[in-house]
């Protein structure tokens, strides 16, 4: 079940969409769930109330649902993508938004549509500045990138937690919201100074034995 205090209809719709993702591609669904746990922890640490945390959680679960319309061979491709393939990958935020816009809260739909925008307005699909977007979007963006970098991908193995955090910090202020990145660093370090145990806790909480995400949708398809 989807946890929290969000509306029953919205939670039920999310459950159904998650079930579809699991049928079509379990790893896509598992990436969404792991991202949601990290995002919800970030939202709480940043002081969002229970309902806002629920919206962040739902937005994170569904953020990549538009990838259901992308051929599996393209999502799993181990080599670099050509210009045409990149263009197809970059349709997934708008595809996903069309799926959820009529059934999800505005903040949830925004996470789906805008999670590849950047602070410097160099992202996609619209190239708008991330600071103009809701905090929920900025949280999901960081959680998405963190999970992608620390998961196994077809073109690259998982980064150590410390290396992933270093990359997030390097890109903070240009690609990622600096406050959200700092919050993730603090959240990880507070629980375990070696930033290892908590990473496992955050990315597997409530989802036993989830396989790693095969998609590279942090720095690869945010480029």
DSSP state letter for 76: T
pLDDT digits (tens, 9 = 90+) for 187-213: 988 654 444 444 444 544 433 333 333
Its pTM stands at 0.83
Length of the chain (residues): 223
3-state secondary structure 127-176: CCEHHHCCHHHHHHHHHHHHHHHCCCECCECCCCHHHHHHHHHHHECCCE
Q: Where are the domains of the chain?
A: 8-204
* Contact of 18 with 29, CB cutoff 8 Å: yes
Closest-CA residue to 136 (of 102, 105, 164, 99): 105
* Contact of 60 with 40, CB cutoff 8 Å: yes
Give the Cα-Cα-Cα angle 69, 71, 74 (nearest 5 degrees): 130
What is the domain class of 8-204 according to CATH? Answer: mainly alpha
pLDDT digits (tens, 9 = 90+) for 2-25: 554 456 777 788 888 888 888 888
DSSP, collapsed to helix, strand or coil, labels residue 217 as coil
Closest-CA residue to 162 (of 153, 174, 170): 170
Tens-binned pLDDT, residue by residue, of the chain (223 aa): 455 445 677 778 888 888 888 888 888 999 999 999 999 999 999 999 999 999 999 999 999 999 999 988 888 787 788 899 999 999 999 999 999 998 888 999 999 999 999 999 999 999 999 888 999 999 999 999 999 999 887 767 889 998 999 999 999 999 999 999 999 999 988 654 444 444 444 544 433 333 333 223 334 333 3
């Amino acid at each position: 079940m989807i946890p929290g205090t969000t509306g029953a209809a919205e939670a039920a719709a999310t459950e159904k969409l998650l079930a579809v993702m699991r049928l079509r591609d379990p790893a896509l669904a598992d990436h969404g769930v792991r991202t949601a746990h990290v995002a919800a922890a970030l939202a709480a640490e940043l002081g969002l109330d229970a309902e806002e945390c629920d919206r962040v959680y739902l937005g994170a679960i569904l953020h990549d649902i538009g990838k259901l319309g992308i051929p599996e061979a393209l999502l799993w491709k181990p080599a670099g993508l050509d210009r045409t393939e990149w263009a197809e990958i970059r349709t997934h935020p708008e595809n996903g938004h069309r799926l959820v816009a009529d059934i999800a809260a505005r903040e949830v739909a925004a996470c789906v549509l805008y999670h590849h925008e950047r602070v410097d307005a160099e992202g996609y699909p619209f190239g708008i500045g991330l600071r103009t977007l809701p905090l929920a979007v900025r949280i999901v963006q960081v959680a998405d990138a963190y999970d992608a970098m620390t998961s196994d991908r077809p073109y690259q193995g998982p980064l150590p937690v410390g290396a992933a955090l270093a990359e997030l910090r390097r890109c903070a202020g240009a690609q990622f919201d600096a406050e959200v990145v700092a919050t993730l660093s603090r959240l990880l370090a507070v629980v375990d100074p070696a930033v290892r145990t908590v990473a496992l806790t955050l990315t597997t909480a409530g989802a036993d034995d989830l396989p790693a995400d095969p998609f590279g949708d942090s720095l690869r398809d945010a480029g």
